[in-house]
């Protein structure tokens, strides 16, 4: 966006940088209470002290007061820290000109892969994050391509550890002319529950009828880029159907998601826009 003069551009850029660095306070979407104001919201931090990469991080409290941290790695890739365990969602080393050094990340306890497309499934990233302790959860197609993995189909539920479950839910296209991108029944979205905090990671999907059955979501990651996922209008419809307490638009590439907070301001949903282009 062009400014009126060079000085205005410098001031604008400095203000944006300062805003990102300072972050802001947020209310927890905890199902038990909202007493966690002051947790980081959009704070720019490394995942490990040794890492040279910095990411936006948002933190929330669970039912019993444990902290869950979400790092916006890029596009559909999310890093989650919870109670000494790490989750990687659709890790991908290179996407366009954006490169993530997963060798600097801690080895993952759990890797969740939604489907086989290159912006979600990357054998190199998985190898860099995998240790003996690592559990890889994915659909049948990706497990077949890797030669290993815990296969989950739509509707399956797995207990990962004492206070953590993951449920595979449908993710597919419904618009004519787009059905070939994500056929019904092949790919997964996931509902990850951590000590009562319910997190919906939709994967590549449109506003499908099954979303009416997705209830009590605290934090939702909904995609927004046609022809592969949803338009902004579809995302708004999906958000109103699911009614999460917090919504992160993700996988949005060049789609303009800046108007979503205004369009959903009367629906009791907090919109957090991070660098998930």
In the 8-state DSSP scheme, what is residue 212? Answer: G
Instruction: Give the span between the Cα atoms of 200 and 29, in whole angstroms.
Output: 13
Q: SS3 for 32?
A: coil
Report if residue 128 sits inside a domain: yes
Query: In sequence order, what DSSP letters do the residues of 81-141 get, joined into one string?
Result: EETTEEEEES--SEETTEE--GGGSPPPSEEE---SSTTT--HHHHHHH--TT-EEEE-HH
Tell me whether residue 36 is in a domain: yes
Q: Residue 165's domain is classified under what CATH number?
A: 3.60.15.10
Domain extent for 219? 26-271
277 within some domain: no
**Whether 125 contacts 108, CB under 8 Å:** no
Residue 276 falls inside a structural domain = no
What are 146-181's pLDDT values in tens digits? 999 999 999 999 999 999 999 999 999 998 888 788
Let me know if residue 231 belongs to a domain: yes
Please tell me the distance from the alpha carbon of residue 85 to that of residue 244, in angstroms, as a whole number: 24
Count Cα atoms within 13 angstroms, Cβ side, for 97: 0
Q: Give the count of domains, the chain.
A: 1
Q: Does 35 fall in a domain?
A: yes
* DSSP helix/strand/coil, 238: helix
Establish if 10 belongs to a structural domain: no
- Residue 128 tokens read as 């860099």
Domain presence at residue 97: yes
E runs forming strands in the chain: 24-26, 39-45, 55-61, 67-74, 77-82, 85-89, 94-95, 98-99, 110-112, 135-138, 150-151, 157-161, 164-171, 187-194, 197-201, 219-223, 246-250, 270-271
Query: Would you state the pLDDT for residue 16?
Result: 35
Q: Which parts of the chain have pLDDT scores under 50?
A: 1-38
* Backbone dihedral region for residue 96 (phi beyond 0: left; psi -120 to 50: alpha; all else: beta): left
* Residue 202: both structure tokens together: 């939709």
């Amino acid at each position: 966006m062009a400014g009126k003069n060079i000085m205005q551009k410098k001031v604008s850029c400095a203000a944006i940088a300062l805003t990102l660095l300072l972050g802001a306070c947020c209310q927890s979407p905890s199902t038990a209470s909202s007493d966690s104001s002051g947790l980081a919201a959009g704070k720019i931090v490394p995942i490990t002290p040794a890492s040279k990469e910095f990411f936006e991080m948002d933190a929330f409290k669970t039912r019993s007061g444990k902290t869950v941290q979400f790092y916006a790695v890029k596009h559909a890739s999310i890093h989650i820290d919870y109670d000494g365990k790490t989750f990687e969602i659709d890790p991908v080393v290179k996407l366009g000109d954006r490169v993530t050094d997963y060798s600097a990340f801690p080895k993952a306890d759990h890797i969740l892969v939604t489907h086989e497309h290159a912006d979600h499934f990357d054998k190199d990233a998985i190898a860099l994050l995998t240790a003996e302790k690592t559990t890889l959860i994915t659909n049948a197609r990706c497990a077949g391509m890797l030669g290993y993995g815990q296969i989950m189909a739509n509707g399956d539920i797995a207990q990962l550890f004492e206070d953590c479950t993951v449920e595979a839910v449908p993710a597919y296209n419904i618009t004519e002319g787009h059905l070939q991108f994500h056929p019904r029944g092949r790919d997964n979205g996931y509902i990850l529950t951590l000590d009562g905090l319910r997190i919906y990671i939709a994967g590549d999907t449109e506003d499908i009828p099954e979303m009416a059955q997705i209830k009590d979501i605290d934090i939702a990651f909904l995609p927004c880029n046609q022809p592969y996922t949803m338009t902004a209008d579809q995302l708004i419809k999906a958000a109103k159907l699911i009614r999460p307490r917090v919504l992160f638009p993700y996988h949005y590439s060049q789609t303009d998601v800046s108007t979503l907070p205004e369009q959903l301001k009367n629906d009791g949903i907090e919109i957090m826009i991070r660098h998930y282009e």
